[in-house]
């Protein structure tokens, strides 16, 4: 539903001229530069925005509407509502999307009027916006579109899911019975999310269609199998597994195996499949399912993979061993704690924590001597599974004595999850010393831990009063995090202020150099080449940030630290554990781009916390739409993408410029 435009972003040299009749002040403003600056800082300059909306320049008005949506500032809802009736489709759609991001119910009538327009794209965006706004009284406006085009039915089904409207299940079931393609996918996905146990016959019906060679059907079949698992349909799942396993595509097979684990059946068949497949991704999912089943009859099978050449297979086997060998896994795990791979040692620490025996606790404490902080953080995490009083001095020492943010953050999380009065005292003491810390992630971890204690008791009030002190922190992300858990203790009319960003023209120079051409990132991995076209017009700041990092060699020799089958591969962390970044955070650029197979997004740990980590979708992921910045799309190397495993290296990322 996205119309990709080629917008020249000549920010350094070009001042946008406005239509005749505007005053000199308007014509002299470089609106593109000013609006980008607002998006960077996360705050609207009302005077500039008023001038932009009244400029008469359609490109400026569209950018102003987009800026409101990116910042999610509701102060200009009136302007945006009026723009819903604009004759220019691009302006109208920018306003519709912004209203969906802002979630302001006062604009519902203006949006509803768009549903009668002849412009399909505007109608689709309006239906999506209704779902995001989340007011169920608009359900009657949405349901009629289930009976219209495939595109409209798809959007309407997803909107009903976003509204959380389980009363619409009957309508979705009817749609699933008559639809195909994207409309069928929307119905199945929404039924799976809303009420899978009441839609088992519809899920089974999808699998009976067996439409070969249709990628949308393959994704739909995978969701249907997830639905059968979530709904607990043991009979159908076992029948497919035992009699039709080779029929669906790889993604459906993975979801079938995962669903068997979810409902705890099929152990013998899964063990047999594990020993007869060369697909390491499938092996990982089988091992995880065997762990969920938790039978001690699988001990010998799982132990065969504790030293597997594939890191992701090995990690999966280590992670599930305590679930299968419930009596004596400690000696087996202890043999792996001297592995040369830090990822293996870290997973061993987490698994020792799951065992919860005195012997495993002794082994965990020995692992505190590990020289890798990534492993130490996992050890602290493992210790958190034991009664807090047994390790509280160790956790306190990690919180206050480590020089590693992740170790300290892991300690804060353990203390926050303990519900122990002594733990609260330790957290408050540490927080008081770190009210103005420059370690943003640690400050956020302290706030999250303290937030778990906030309630109307005396101790809850102490936690809230400590968190309130972070409302004056220099960093907006910390201020936002501090406001969120306060509840009734939150100050009225709190303004998080602007982002503490060193605003420079470096990104704009990158974009100016790209004016009139495309940029393609060439990822050289140990599995082969993946090419990604970057959305410099749609997500310019994020794309420019990625280009700058790539051109200075930032990504060279980093790894894909996270791979989740049928979901995403993720890389770009200098630590390799998902906690690292370039030393700064960038604001989001949410746009109406679908997270489909091959879409590249910016990984975050909350709003406006992107940096260098990126992910690539392995399949369609509607729940990511409108929540993350999409800034690229795979155009070559699909077979390579499917082969990526945890720990695989990114040898380099080169940027090619031209027409693609």
pLDDT tens digit sequence for 461-491: 999 999 999 999 999 999 999 999 999 999 9
145 pLDDT above the threshold of 80:
yes
Q: What is the pLDDT of residue 20?
A: 41
Q: Which helix (H) or strand (E) holds 632?
A: strand 630-636
pLDDT tens digit sequence for 504-537: 567 767 777 777 778 999 999 999 999 999 998 8
Name the β-bridge partners of 655. Answer: 521
Question: 279 near 643, Cβ under 8 Å?
Answer: no
Residues of the chain with CATH 2.40.100.10: 506-658
Q: Which helix (H) or strand (E) holds 259?
A: helix 250-263
- How far, in Å, CA of 146 to CA of 156, rounded? 6
Looking up tokens 């890798």, which residue turns up? 372
Q: What is the pLDDT of residue 505?
A: 66
> What mean pLDDT is predicted for residues 569-596?
93
Contacts of 554 (CB under 8 A, 6+ apart): 574, 582, 612
Query: Regarding the domain delimited by 16-123, which CATH topology (the fold level of the hierarchy) does it fall under?
Result: 1.25.10
Question: 249 near 280, Cβ under 8 Å?
Answer: no
> What mean pLDDT is predicted for residues 67-80?
91
SS3 623: helix
Question: b/e per residue, 264-275, with b = 16+ CB within 10 A?
Answer: ebbbebbbebbe
Question: 53 near 61, Cβ under 8 Å?
Answer: yes
Give CA separation, 536 vs 41, 68, 144, in Å. Answer: 20, 19, 37
Mean pLDDT of the chain: 91
pTM value? 0.92
Q: What is the pLDDT of residue 18?
A: 37
98 pLDDT above the threshold of 60:
yes
> What mean pLDDT is predicted for residues 350-375?
96
> What mean pLDDT is predicted for residues 537-552?
91
301 token code pair: 């099978």
Residues of the chain with CATH 1.25.10.10: 16-123
> What mean pLDDT is predicted for residues 68-89?
92
246 token code pair: 């080779």
Please give the angle made by the CA atoms of 394, 400 and 403, to the nearest 5 degrees: 105
> What mean pLDDT is predicted for residues 13-40?
62
Class of 506-658 in CATH: mainly beta
501 pLDDT above the threshold of 70:
no
Q: Which helix (H) or strand (E) holds 393?
A: helix 392-401
- How far, in Å, CA of 218 to CA of 493, rounded? 49
């Amino acid at each position: 539903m996205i119309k990709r435009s080629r917008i020249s972003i000549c920010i350094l040299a070009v001042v946008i001229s406005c239509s005749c009749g505007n005053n000199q002040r308007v014509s002299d403003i470089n609106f593109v530069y000013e609006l980008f600056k607002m998006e960077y800082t996360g705050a609207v300059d009302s005077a500039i925005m008023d001038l932009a909306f009244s400029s008469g320049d359609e490109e400026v008005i569209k950018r102003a509407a987009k800026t409101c949506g990116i910042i999610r500032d509701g102060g200009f809802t009136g302007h945006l509502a009026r723009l819903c009736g604009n004759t220019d489709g691009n302006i109208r759609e920018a306003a519709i999307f912004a209203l969906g991001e802002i979630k302001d119910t006062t604009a519902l009538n203006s949006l509803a009027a768009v549903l009668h327009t002849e412009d399909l794209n505007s109608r689709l965006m309006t239906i999506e916006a209704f779902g995001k706004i989340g007011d169920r009284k608009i359900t009657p406006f949405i349901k009629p579109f289930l009976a219209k085009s495939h595109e409209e039915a798809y959007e309407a089904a997803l909107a009903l899911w976003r509204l959380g409207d389980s009363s619409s299940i009957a309508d979705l079931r009817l749609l699933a019975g008559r639809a195909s393609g994207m409309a069928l996918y929307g119905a199945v996905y929404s039924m799976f999310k809303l009420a899978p146990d009441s839609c088992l016959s519809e899920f089974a019906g999808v699998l009976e269609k067996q439409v070969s060679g249709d990628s949308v059907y393959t994704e739909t079949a995978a969701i249907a199998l997830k639905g059968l698992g979530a709904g607990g349909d043991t009979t159908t799942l076992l029948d497919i597994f035992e009699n039709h396993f080779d029929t669906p595509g790889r993604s459906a097979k993975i979801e079938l195996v995962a669903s068997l684990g979810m409902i705890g059946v099929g152990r013998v068949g899964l063990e047999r499949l594990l020993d007869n497949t060369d697909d390491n991704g499938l092996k990982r999912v089988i091992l995880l399912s065997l762990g969920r089943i938790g039978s001690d009859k699988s001990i010998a099978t799982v132990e065969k993979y504790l030293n597997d050449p594939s890191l992701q297979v090995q990690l999966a086997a280590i992670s599930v061993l305590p679930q299968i060998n419930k009596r004596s896994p400690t000696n087996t795990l202890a043999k792996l704690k001297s592995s040369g791979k830090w990822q293996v040692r870290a997973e061993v620490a987490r698994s020792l924590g799951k065992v919860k025996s005195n012997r495993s606790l002794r082994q965990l404490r020995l692992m505190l001597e590990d020289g890798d902080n990534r492993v130490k953080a996992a050890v602290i995490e493992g210790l958190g599974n034991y009664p807090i009083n047994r390790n509280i001095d160790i956790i306190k020492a990690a919180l206050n004595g480590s020089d590693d943010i992740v170790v300290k953050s892991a300690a804060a999380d353990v203390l926050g999850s303990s519900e122990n009065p002594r733990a609260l005292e330790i957290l408050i003491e540490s927080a008081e010393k770190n009210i103005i810390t420059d370690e943003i992630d640690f400050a956020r971890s302290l706030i999250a831990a303290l937030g778990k204690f906030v309630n109307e008791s005396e101790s809850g009030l102490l936690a809230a009063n400590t968190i309130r002190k972070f409302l004056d922190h220099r960093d907006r992300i910390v201020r936002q995090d501090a406001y969120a858990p306060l509840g009734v203790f939150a100050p009225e009319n709190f303004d998080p202020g602007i982002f503490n960003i060193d605003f420079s023209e470096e990104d704009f120079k990158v974009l100016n150099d790209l004016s009139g051409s495309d940029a393609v990132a060439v990822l050289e991995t140990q599995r082969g080449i993946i090419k990604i076209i970057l959305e410099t017009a749609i997500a310019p700041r994020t794309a420019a940030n990625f280009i700058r990092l790539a051109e200075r060699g930032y990504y060279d020799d980093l790894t894909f630290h996270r791979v989740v089958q049928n979901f995403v591969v993720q890389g770009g962390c200098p630590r390799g554990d998902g906690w690292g970044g370039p030393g700064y955070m960038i604001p989001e650029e949410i746009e109406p781009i679908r997270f489909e197979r091959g879409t590249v997004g910016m990984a975050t740990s909350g709003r406006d916390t992107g940096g260098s980590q990126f992910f690539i979708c392995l399949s369609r992921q509607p729940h990511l739409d409108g929540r993350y910045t999409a800034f690229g799309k795979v155009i070559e190397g699909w077979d390579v993408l499917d082969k990526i495993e945890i720990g695989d290296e990114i040898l380099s990322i080169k940027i090619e410029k031209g027409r693609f």
